[in-house]
Amino acid sequence: MNKKMLISLSLLFLSFTLSAETITSEKHNFTIETVVDGLEHPWAVDFLPDGRILVTEKPGRLRIVNNGKLSKPVTGLPKIKEKGQGGLLDIALDPDYKNNQIIYLSYSAKGKGGVGTEVVKGKLIGNELKDTKVIFKLSPKSNTGHHFGSRLLFAKDGSLFITLGDRGDKDRAQDLNDHAGSLIHINKDGSVPEDNPFVKNPNAKPEIYTYGNRNMQGIAMHPETGDVWTIEHGPQGGDELNLMKPGVNYGWPVITYGVNYVIGTKIGEGTEKEGMAQPVHHWIPSIATSSLMFYTGDKFPAWKGDAFVSSLVFGQLARLEMKKNSVIKEERLLDGDFGRIREIQQGLDGFLYFINDDTRGKLYRIKPEK
C-alpha cells in the first residue's frame, strides 16, 4: 500500500470517526450525520410527504434532496434579487400539499423604490414550479441590503404569517403604513383576513398583524396551545423570543435590550415602555437567532415540547424548556463545530435537521445515540 493510499484511508477513517462522535447533552446524547453537502448558503428546509427534502439557497436556487443526492435547481422560480441578506429565503408547503402540490417561497425582488421581500405560490411538478402567483409584496421597497425577514408559517385555519425585518431603517418598524418591521397575516390567495387588527385603520397597512419588530428570522406555532411565537434577531445584545398577539407593538426601536454595534451606545428610550410588549426571553450577548421550532416527535422523548433556536454568531442550538409561556431553562448544544446554523427543523421521521450558512453548506441530521 503506497503512502497516498494510506493518507486517503486515514482521512476517511477520521471523517467517519467525527461523524459518529457522540455529543452529550443534559437529556439526550446524540450523533450528527451529513445528509447532503454542496449547498451554497442554504437558507431553509422543508419536507415533502414522500421523504424528499426541499432546500433553498440564498443566491436564488431551490434544490430537492433525494436519498442523499442533490437535484438540479428547480425551474420556474420568480426573478430573485440577491442583495446583502436578501435572496431566496424561506419555503413552506401548503397545508393541503398532498392534494394540490402547492409550495410558497419568500424572497427579495426588485421593484419600485428598490428591493423588498415578496412571497410567491406555485405548483411543484417534478423539477419545475408552475402556475406561479405573487401573493405579497413588501411596500415600500428600499435600496438597503439588510433585514428582509423572512419566515413563513401557516396557521391552523390555513392563513399565512410572514415575518419581515425593518430593512435596516429602524424607525420604519413603528410606522403602521409601512410593512417593514412587522408580522404580516394574509390568506393563502393574498387577501386580507377580516379580523386582522388594523383592517379598519385608514392609516395602516391591513396586512399588518404586529409591529415594532426588528428582524424576525424564526416563527413557530406551539403544538398544544396553537400560539404563534417568533424569535427576533436583535442588535448587539437583545435577541428576543416573543409570543405574538394581534395589534401589539413589540417596541423596536423605542425599547430594546440591545445597543448599537461596535460603539455600544444606547438605542431608544430604554428596555421598557407602557404600551409596548416585553419579550418572553432575551439573550445578552446576542446569539444571532436564525430559526425557531417546537419539538413534537418521539425520537427524543425528553425534548418533547421544548423550543429550539438556532444561532449564527456562536453556531449553537439553544434548547428552551417552556412552562406556561415562560422559559424555565436554557441549554446550549453544539458550539460552533458546524459553523453558522441558519435553520433547524423537525423532519417527518422525528429526527432533527439543520443547515449551516456557508459557501459549501451542508444539511445535517441529528439522531439519538444508538
Among 28, 41, 146, 147, which one carries the catalytic annotation? 147
- Residue written as cell 442523499? 68
pLDDT at residue number 20: 57
Cell readout for 276 is 409596548
Task: Flag whether pLDDT at 16 surpasses 80.
Answer: no
Q: pTM of the full predicted structure? A: 0.93
Task: Flag whether pLDDT at 271 surpasses 60.
Answer: yes
Q: State how far the Cα of 270 lies from the Cα of 278, in Å rounded to an integer.
A: 12
Structure confidence by residue, pLDDT tens digits, 39-94: 999 999 999 999 999 999 999 999 999 999 999 999 999 999 999 999 999 999 99
Task: Flag whether pLDDT at 5 surpasses 60.
Answer: no
Which distant-in-sequence residues (6+ apart) come within 8 Å of 58 by Cβ? 40, 41, 42, 43, 82, 87, 88, 89
Q: State how far the Cα of 42 lies from the Cα of 340, in Å rounded to an integer.
A: 11
Q: Is 179 a catalytic residue?
A: no
Q: For the residues 12-41, what does the mean pLDDT come to?
A: 79
pLDDT at residue number 10: 40
How many angstroms from the chain centroid is the CA of residue 236?
20
Task: Flag whether pLDDT at 370 surpasses 80.
Answer: no
Domains and CATH numbers, the chain: 34-368 (2.120.10.30)
Torsion sign over Cα 253, 257, 260, 265: positive
Q: Which amino acid is at 257?
A: Y
Confidence band for 117, pLDDT divided at 50, 70 and 90: very high
Confidence band for 368, pLDDT divided at 50, 70 and 90: very high
Across the beta sheet with 42-47, what order do the strands follow?
A: 42-47, 53-57, 61-66, 69-70
Task: State what percent of residues in the chain have pLDDT above 70.
Answer: 95
CA atoms within 13 A on the CB side of 135: 26
